[in-house]
Structure 1
Amino acid sequence: EDSCLDVVKRSLKLVQLEGGDGVKLGGVEIPREDFYKIRDRRLAQDGIETIDDRLLPQYLPKYAVRWTDLAPLLRRQRAELSVELTKLYLVNGRAVITPRDLWDLFSKFIAVRAEEYVASVYERFSDIGAPSKRLAEVGERISSLLPSELELRERFARVPSGKLRPEFFPSCVKIAMGGVGSGLRNYAITVLLTSFLSYARASPPPAATRIGDFIKDIPVIRDEIAAPIFEAAERCKPPFFKDQPQEKANIYYHLGFGMTAEPRPEESGKSKWYRVPNCSKIQMSAPPLCDPDELCRKIKNPLTYYFRRLSEHARSGTGG
């Protein structure tokens, strides 16, 4: 157990409750009835009504962890990886937990760190347009353990490029489209909307680097992607381009056409075509944009939300 705790303590500042006449944390006594409530809550959570003496110690409060150490879990959208602060028993800024809670929290930490690492690797390699040989080999090994490509396509087919369907946009995009305040304008308009609307309209493969490879007509870029972005910018308070007119050219820069107000087909690729930020980045950089619904909690990127909704709509056979 000690060796396991040494590993856990690299992520969590863990302290052990004090014994003696009563259970204490930092000199503060935990009422006996609260001690047993913590035990019973965890037993109920695991669906256990009767327990033998060998397993009981796993359900008795034994440790405390700073609630701030749990921050990576507090902001997670996915319920299976999240922790609700209001459900923790706090004493002087520390959450009192059982050994069973500890292993549960630590497993969530491992999952979150793994997700963050995979996301960072994806973003690094997506910039070069193609994965490295080593990453490709790892991907092939993982793919061998997953359902067949045909099965995945049937379940989560990415629809062909076509007219944007705002009714299927995630809430963060809808909020940005409605206009935001001065503190959110740059992120909502330049970072989120520019990337989301362009990738949603073009529907490119993951390795894509130039929007011009998928949308040949500049009128489509100008009227179906840039125009809604400019309209959203005007709805901001104050209007985004009124005091920052250079940002209009910056929109095309983020679409990959360089700093220009009049994009031309041959200029596609002159600058980087910025990708849609993951949900975790939106949460950290612009929390007011994040108002997740049930589907949001199951995905990690606004673009995935949009394609999932489109795919479900197509499979349902609903007209329109």
Structure 2
Amino acid sequence: MIKTPYINPFSNDAKEIVSRLGQVDTLDKRNDSLMIIVNHTRGQNLNDPHTLPETLKDLAIARFEWSLFRKTSENQEKKYEYLFNPEIYEYDVVSFYLLCQAVAIKYGPDSHEAKMVLDCEEDIISQRLEILKAESNDFQSSFLRKALNQLIDTNNIHWTDLKEVFDLGKLDINEVLLADGKIILEYEDFIAHYGDLIHNRDPRTMYEVTAGINIKSKLLLGLIRLYTKQYIETVYEMSKRMVEPNEILLDLADNIKEIQQRAQDLKYAGAGSSNYIDDKPISYEMEAFPPCVRKCMDGIKSGGRNDAIVLFLTPFVSYSRLCPGIFSKQEQNIKVSDVDPSLEITLNEVIPMIYDAAEACSPPLFKDQPQEKININSKLGFGLHSQLKLDNEGETHWYTPMSCEKIKLHMPSLCTPSVDCKKIGNPLTYYNRKRRLMKKDNTNRQVEEHGD
């Protein structure tokens, strides 16, 4: 049987669970009850027991991993099947709060890490709501009513009460049924307002189409995201008064950053050739990215976002994938289509990486500066247009990556030189040199291992 906390971590039962099981000194201790649930989950892959969670902290990490890796080439649903076993609900609730507290204390509510935790919770609850659909309509309706009523009064809610939910963009006001400013969610309210108008139709069917399970599910998702956001903000404010944050939470925050980096590497690596023919497209080698690029991809605070994403990152990301050897070519006035004729790589890999970095900014760049998408296209050589089209190519120049000197002058906050930056004049030069050093190291290692 699906319990309310399994879907709604802000329910009264969930709060009681956290009080009972959330003692700090037990969070990284082996939990046999948790392990029994994990090992007895139907369909769970048990081939690698070392990857299965043994502690509540492990479970928090697993939640985050599932959300990020499901969008990469390392997507292994059966590896995390236990997350969708309703029996895990008590431990799952505690691990959810652990994640929120870790990012709040270490990174803050406006950080990219906090947004990823919000996305993680939304992904998990969305998947669990899909599981709920296997139940009867009566059970779903009753369950959602109970879950929602621990957050709002579903019989008495004005649309203005949900303004913050609408602002999140997860539910549109045009999707809900309104009567005199009141949102109609329950069947009895639907009949009271519209029953006299329904003829030769099944009222229950009409209700489900206009205000039933689907709308309730969307509303619940939006409310959980809002409450999660507010909880992270609250923890952040409280953390300012902490003398010393808990080490378990700080360690978990570091784990989150590592997982984020690993998922990012997987997401953008592996496509294309890596044979070091530098005037042709090659796969991204994220480990070779210079510190300034890494810093930009992790997200820029308000103030320097536009230049960092449009002027700095866009040229680097495009040339490092499509033509990393541009500075060694005699003819540098090339177009994107010269190396990516169909624009397939540009649209499927280059643009998404730039957009991910823009989304990681605080606030997300396109949220208040949507016109920067056009400027990005312009820097790729496609003019001031909202879409990349070959017909527009050549209206502007495909910008090459700016030099280290210009970065230091115009974006000094990005420049945090490492030992490998010595005598390097351009981030793309750093990238190419680092790739070759990495290849040399790998070759030497293979020779040593085989004794050749």
Q: Give the TM-score, by structure 1 length.
A: 0.48
The structure whose residues are more often helix, as a share, is 2
Q: Give the TM-score, by structure 2 length.
A: 0.35
